[in-house]
Structure 1
Amino acid sequence: MNKDDKKEELNLPDYTIANILQTGNWMNETFSDHLKQFALSIQQFQVLRSLKKLNNEPADLQTLQAEMVSKNSNTTRLVEKLRLKGLITRFQNEENRRKVEIRITEQGLELLNEIEVIQKDFENEVVSNLSEKEILTLNKLLIKIRNK
């Protein structure tokens, strides 16, 4: 079998999806390794980052769930683990006792600021062999795939 025969056998959609999944898994595993030194999971990091974006405004569980990259995350469990670590607070709303208000603590902000330095280095390393034009094209294509 020569090279041309292999090209004909290549299933481009399958190859593309496998490549995207492998790359995503590699990035998750690599960033997870960076987070281990802080005893955090990627999902816990995402919760902290979502709370930071709110500038000390409270969030509820539904808001945090909507912000998660992985919609299968057990947000209640993640929030409780972060609360036990002192990184967030969780209170019942005075007017609506069924509603829970979640905020990031000062300790959580300090930890997140430390992690964000590592995150930026990681992100820059991931795309270091791509030009700005290639990065923009890659983003446009990934968005196009998701918005089909």
Structure 2
Amino acid sequence: MNVEKHIQTSSELRTTTRSIIHLTLVHHRIQEELQAALKPFEVSLQQFNVLRILRGRRGEPANMFTINDRMVTKMSNTTRLVDKLMAKGYVSRQTCPSNRRKVEIDITPKGRDILLKMDKSVAESESHLLNALNQEELKQLNILLDKIKVK
């Protein structure tokens, strides 16, 4: 991708500026593609992430803090995401018997079933997005991205 052409500038950008803009453009393209993959399921990327987190707990419920802590994109509206997933029957919420202030969230069988279908759609999108890179290039990309400090 020619960043300068994309942002319609004739001046040459500093390498750091060009890199940040490039990463931002790629990020938005990835978001668009993954959102399109999830659109038939009427689930956002963040809701998909919550479902994956809950499935990964292998039957052990999670509280809101645990879910938010493991989210790829940290946000304060985890409760709203869970509420939407509950309305669809994909997750259940229970009050912890030993601590009534603690709410436990778990994925339902319906949530597991739909997540398997979403996984397939997302995997196809991921392959489509990265089909220009071979396995060695993908490993190198991850090494380079690991060097960028992320909180």
Same fold by TM-score, threshold 0.5 exceeded?
Answer: yes
**TM-score normalised per structure 2:** 0.89
Match of 2:6 in 1: none
Match of 1:98 in 2: 101
Gaps of 5+ in 1: 1-5
CA apart distance, 1:72: 2.2
Identify the match of residue 134 of structure 2 among 124, 131, 134: 131
Alpha-carbon displacement from aligned partner over 1:24-61 (angstroms, at most 9, x marks no partner): 11111111111111010000000000000011110000
Q: Does 1:54 align with 2:52?
A: no
Identify the match of residue 41 of structure 2 among 27, 38, 43: 38
The separation in 2 between residues aligned to 1:121 and 1:74, in whole angstroms, is: 28
CA apart distance, 1:140: 0.8
Over the aligned positions, Cα root-mean-square deviation in angstroms equals 1.7
**TM-score normalised per structure 1:** 0.91
Query: Residues 73 and 134 from structure 1, CA distance in 2 versus in 1: closer, same or farther, beyond 3 angstroms?
Result: farther
Number of residue equivalences: 142
2:46 aligns to what SS in structure 1? helix
Alignment of 1:110-121 (within 5 A): 110-121=113-124
Match of 1:20 in 2: 23
User: Structure 1 segments of 4 or more deviating over 2 A?
Assistant: none
More helix by share: 1
1:145 aligns to what SS in structure 2? coil
1:10 aligns to what SS in structure 2? coil
- Give the counterpart letter for 1:70 in structure 2: T
Gaps of 5+ in 2: 1-8
- Give the counterpart letter for 1:33 in structure 2: A
CA apart distance, 1:147: 5.1
1:71 aligns to what SS in structure 2? coil
